[in-house]
Amino acid sequence: MAKIIPFKGLRPNPDIAPQLATLPYDVVNVQEARAYASQPYHFYHVTRSEIDLPEDIDVHSEAVYLKAKENLDKLIADKLMQQDAKPCYYIYELVMNGRSQTGLVCGSSCEDYHNGVIKKHEFTRPEKELDRINHIKTTRAQTGIVFLAYRDEPGVQRLIAEWKENHQPVNNFTSEDGIQHIFWVVDEDNVIDQITNLFATNVPATYIADGHHRAASAAKVCDYFKESGQITNPENPYDHFITCIFPESELKIMDYNRVVKDLNGLSPQQFLTALQERFTITPVGKAAVHPARLHEFGLYLEGQWYRLEAKEGSYTEDPIGVLDVTILQNHVLSAILDIHDPRIDKRVDFVGGIRGLTALEKAVDSGEMAAAFSCYPVSIQQLFDIADSGQVMPPKSTWFEPKTRDGLVVYKI
Check whether 93 has a pLDDT greater than 80. Answer: yes
Residues of the chain with pLDDT > 90: what percent?
Answer: 80
Question: What is the reported pLDDT for 181?
Answer: 98
Check whether 188 has a pLDDT greater than 90. Answer: yes
CA distance 100 to 200: 26
Check whether 26 has a pLDDT greater than 80. Answer: yes
Answer whether residue 215 is part of any domain: yes
CA distance 278 to 163: 53
Same-domain check for residues 247 and 321: no
Same-domain check for residues 264 and 178: no
CA distance 411 to 11: 9
Give the pLDDT band of residue 399 (cuts 50, 70, 90): confident
Same-domain check for residues 68 and 189: yes
Same-domain check for residues 210 and 274: no
Check whether 384 has a pLDDT greater than 70. Answer: yes
The answer to whether the CB of 399 falls within 8 A of the CB of 13 is: no
Same-domain check for residues 279 and 367: yes
When pLDDT is averaged across residues 32-60 and rounded to a whole number, the result is 93
Cβ burial of 141 (10 Å; 0-12, 13-18, 19+) is: buried
The answer to whether the CB of 344 falls within 8 A of the CB of 326 is: no
Question: What is the reported pLDDT for 147?
Answer: 95
Give the pLDDT band of residue 354 (cuts 50, 70, 90): confident
Q: Could you count the other beta carbons within 10 Å of the beta carbon of residue 343?
A: 11
Same-domain check for residues 272 and 221: no
Domain that holds residue 310: 256-376
Beta-ladder partners of 149: 207, 246
Q: What is the mean pLDDT of the chain?
A: 93
Check whether 247 has a pLDDT greater than 90. Answer: yes
Answer whether residue 396 is part of any domain: no
Answer whether residue 216 is part of any domain: yes
Answer whether residue 304 is part of any domain: yes
Strands 180-186 vs 118-119: parallel, antiparallel or unpaired: unpaired
Give the start-end residues of each E strand in 177-287.
180-186, 206-210, 240-247, 253-254, 256-260, 279-285
Answer whether residue 114 is part of any domain: yes
Summarize pLDDT for 339-350 with one digit per residue, the tens. Answer: 998 888 899 999
- For the entire predicted model, the pTM comes to 0.88
Question: What is the reported pLDDT for 8?
Answer: 97
Question: What is the reported pLDDT for 231?
Answer: 67
Question: What is the reported pLDDT for 207?
Answer: 96
Residue of higher predicted confidence among 162 and 233: 162
Residue of higher predicted confidence among 322 and 289: 289
Strands 206-210 vs 118-119: parallel, antiparallel or unpaired: parallel
Answer whether residue 394 is part of any domain: no
Question: What is the reported pLDDT for 397?
Answer: 86
CATH classification at residue 278 = 3.30.1760
Please count the structural domains in the chain.
2
DSSP letters, 191-206, are HHHHHHHHHHHH---E
Question: What is the reported pLDDT for 77?
Answer: 97
Same-domain check for residues 20 and 53: yes
Answer whether residue 395 is part of any domain: no
When pLDDT is averaged across residues 17-38 and rounded to a whole number, the result is 91
Summarize pLDDT for 58-87 with one digit per residue, the tens. Answer: 999 999 999 999 999 999 999 999 999 999
CA distance 228 to 127: 22
Out of 140-149, 284-293, 311-320, 325-334, least confident range: 311-320
| 350: Cβ contacts below 8 Å, ≥ 6 apart | 256, 257, 258, 259, 342, 395, 396
Answer whether residue 329 is part of any domain: yes
Residue of higher predicted confidence among 315 and 99: 99
Cis amide linkage into residue 54, ω under 30° from 0: no
The answer to whether the CB of 184 falls within 8 A of the CB of 164 is: yes
Same-domain check for residues 174 and 68: yes
CA distance 402 to 92: 12
Question: What is the reported pLDDT for 162?
Answer: 98
Same-domain check for residues 55 and 99: yes
Residue environment code for 150-182, b if the CB has 16+ CB neighbours within 10 A, otherwise e: bbebeebbebbeebeeeeebbbebeeeeebebb
Same-domain check for residues 222 and 276: no
Nearest alpha carbon to residue 27 among 48, 56, 50: 48
Same-domain check for residues 68 and 170: yes
Same-domain check for residues 309 and 188: no
Q: Could you count the other beta carbons within 10 Å of the beta carbon of residue 398?
A: 22
Question: What is the reported pLDDT for 48?
Answer: 96
Compute and round to an integer the Cα radius of gyration of the chain. 22
